[in-house]
């Protein structure tokens, strides 16, 4: 097949396989409903003048897979300029839908390292099985399909079988959208998606939900970019593009919520932590020391841009019980001002150093409009200086509604974050900021955990 054949519209049907099965499947745990197929993006969103493989030179693996789209390997012409649509471009993730007469496939590339994933790779193996089963059940129900010409016809033939999840995308609300070869689209609600996703799936969903700026397809010749792409990227001191995960779909009255908090920064390694949280699609809350916020305004802004919550942790980190009311006010308000100078907006919460308060302190904080955030799980990272112990304490202490205390000025504590997230996620926790954890928070009142 020459490349001209590849421009057959996506909606064209290939020889069809029958999806019909009369067996009653178990009712799947995952609900699939019909949905609108999302529109492709303007290629300019990915910095491309044209959406063809000539523009993807820095991503040779992606070029190869796009060229192979719907084509037997032997037929690939390496010189062919294969067409595709851009489906997402955010942070370090580029998603393209290569066009083929079986409906094509959606491929995702990480421009930081050049790796390429299929749509199925966004789901765990269990997730793939669950979505396939739920999709088959939804089809058998003859659900009305908003996105395709098979609408309302349960007998409509489809070109993608239940087991082949060739075109998976996310919308900005974090819903998982599955598009079949005939253009029919289905959706799994954002609230149900979390447990289905692989690490790559979280990375892609975080990039889509954020509306974060696309890093761009890395400059340099393709061979070099393929091998040392990461080295060509800006150093970590440059703020990482934002994930800004909206927590709108998390209801902590229902979900098993937990809040990660990081004190005493921002520090030199805070951008590294931001990248970890972005990769894991996890929001957190940062209680900043004023003098550090003043020293690193770009990091303060990166924290906010990434969708995290900003907290005030005083200017000099004193025990506030030992200073005058006026000094309490100055410690806190100067810090809020430094945070606002960096981020463009001030903190929403405050944590007293050492958790130390008295009536005077609380009265000033009430006056300043700041809820007082304590914690219910102390990793004691500053004391144990151990990644494994920090992780173990966080996970052992975790409970629904918990607030976990760490410090982003300690590299070993940052190193513990991926494991903490993985362990807690495996236990069904949803990560939220402190303000998202509580329905309402009142200035001057102390909060240790929800419930």
Chain contacts with Ni ion (rule: CB under 5 A): 263-264, 353
What is the number of helices (H) and of strands (E) in the chain?
14, 17
Cα-to-chain-centroid distance, residue 260:
15
Q: Cβ 289 to Ni ion, closest distance in Å?
A: 7
Pull the structure tokens for residue 341.
Answer: 């100078």
First CA to last CA across the chain, in angstroms? Answer: 62
| Residue 246 or 353 having the CB closest to Ni ion | 353
| Residue 184 or 303 having the CB closest to Ni ion | 303
The Cα-based distances of 246 to 210, 250, 308, 309 in angstroms read 8, 9, 10, 11
Pull the structure tokens for residue 331.
Answer: 């410690």
Tally the C-alpha atoms within 13 A of residue 424's C-alpha that lie toward its C-beta. 31
- Among residues 22, 10, 9, the alpha carbon closest in space to that of 155 is found at 22
338's enclosing H/E stretch is helix 325-343
| Residue 278 or 289 having the CB closest to Ni ion | 289
Q: Cβ 264 to Ni ion, closest distance in Å?
A: 4
Q: Cβ 285 to Ni ion, closest distance in Å?
A: 13
Pairing of strands 285-288, 116-118: unpaired
The neighbour count for residue 77, using CB atoms within 10 Å, is: 12
What residues form DSSP beta bridges with 176? 170, 188
| Residue 107 or 328 having the CB closest to Ni ion | 328
C-alpha–C-alpha distance, residues 315 and 330, integer Å: 8
| Residue 211 or 353 having the CB closest to Ni ion | 353
C-alpha–C-alpha distance, residues 204 and 120, integer Å: 12
Q: Cβ 447 to Ni ion, closest distance in Å?
A: 16
Which residues are identified as catalytic? 263, 407
Pull the structure tokens for residue 163.
Answer: 């087991």
Give the residue at shortest CB distance from Ni ion. 263
- Among residues 350, 353, 352, the alpha carbon closest in space to that of 339 is found at 350
| Residue 263 or 281 having the CB closest to Ni ion | 263
395's enclosing H/E stretch is helix 387-397
C-alpha–C-alpha distance, residues 444 and 373, integer Å: 9
Q: Cβ 382 to Ni ion, closest distance in Å?
A: 8
Largest Cα separation within the chain, whole Å, is 80
Phi-psi category of 151—alpha, beta or left, where left has phi over 0 and alpha has psi -120 to 50?
beta
Q: Cβ 313 to Ni ion, closest distance in Å?
A: 6
Q: Cβ 409 to Ni ion, closest distance in Å?
A: 9
Question: 117 phi and psi, to 5 degrees?
Answer: -125, 150
| Residue 220 or 353 having the CB closest to Ni ion | 353
């Amino acid at each position: 097949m020459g490349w001209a054949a590849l421009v057959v519209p996506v909606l064209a049907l290939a020889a069809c396989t029958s999806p019909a099965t009369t067996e009653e499947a178990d009712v799947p745990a995952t609900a699939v409903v019909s949905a609108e197929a999302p529109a492709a993006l303007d290629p300019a969103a990915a910095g491309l003048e044209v959406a063809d493989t000539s523009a993807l030179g820095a991503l040779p693996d992606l070029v190869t897979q796009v060229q192979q789209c719907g084509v037997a390997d032997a037929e690939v012409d390496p010189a062919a300029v294969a067409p595709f649509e851009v489906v997402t471009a955010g942070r370090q993730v580029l998603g393209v839908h290569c066009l083929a007469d079986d409906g094509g496939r959606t491929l995702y590339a990480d421009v930081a390292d050049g790796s390429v994933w299929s749509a199925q790779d966004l789901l765990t193996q269990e997730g793939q099985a669950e979505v396939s089963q739920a999709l088959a059940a939804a089809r058998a129900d003859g659900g009305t399909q908003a996105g395709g010409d098979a609408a309302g016809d349960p007998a409509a033939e489809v070109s993608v079988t239940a087991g082949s999840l060739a075109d998976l995308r996310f919308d900005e609300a974090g819903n998982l959208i599955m598009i079949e070869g005939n253009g029919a689209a289905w959706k799994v609600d954002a609230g149900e998606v979390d447990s289905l996703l692989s690490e790559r799936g979280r990375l892609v969903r975080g990039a889509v939900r954020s509306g974060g700026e696309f890093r761009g397809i890395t400059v340099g010749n393709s061979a070099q970019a393929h091998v040392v792409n990461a080295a060509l990227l800006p150093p970590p001191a440059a703020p990482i593009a934002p994930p800004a995960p909206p927590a709108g779909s998390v209801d902590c009255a229902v979900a098993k919520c937990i809040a990660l908090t990081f004190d005493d920064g921002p520090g030199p390694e805070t951008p590294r932590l931001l990248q970890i949280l972005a990769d894991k699609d996890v929001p957190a809350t940062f209680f900043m020391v004023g003098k550090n916020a003043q020293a690193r305004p770009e990091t303060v802004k990166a924290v906010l841009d990434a969708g995290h919550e900003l907290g005030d942790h005083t200017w000099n980190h004193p025990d506030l019980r030992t200073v005058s009311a006026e000094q309490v006010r100055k410690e806190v308000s100067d810090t809020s001002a430094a945070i606002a100078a960096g981020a463009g907006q001030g903190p929403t919460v405050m944590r007293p150093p050492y958790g130390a308060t008295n009536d005077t302190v609380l009265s000033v904080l009430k006056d300043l409009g700041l809820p007082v955030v304590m914690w219910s799980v102390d990793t004691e990272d500053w004391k144990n200086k151990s990644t494994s112990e920090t992780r173990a304490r966080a996970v052992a202490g975790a409970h629904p509604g918990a607030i976990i205390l760490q410090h982003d000025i300690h590299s070993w504590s940052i190193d513990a974050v991926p494991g903490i997230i993985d362990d807690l996620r495996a236990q069904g926790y949803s990560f939220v900021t402190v303000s998202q954890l509580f329905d309402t928070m009142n200035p001057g009142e102390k909060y240790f955990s929800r419930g």
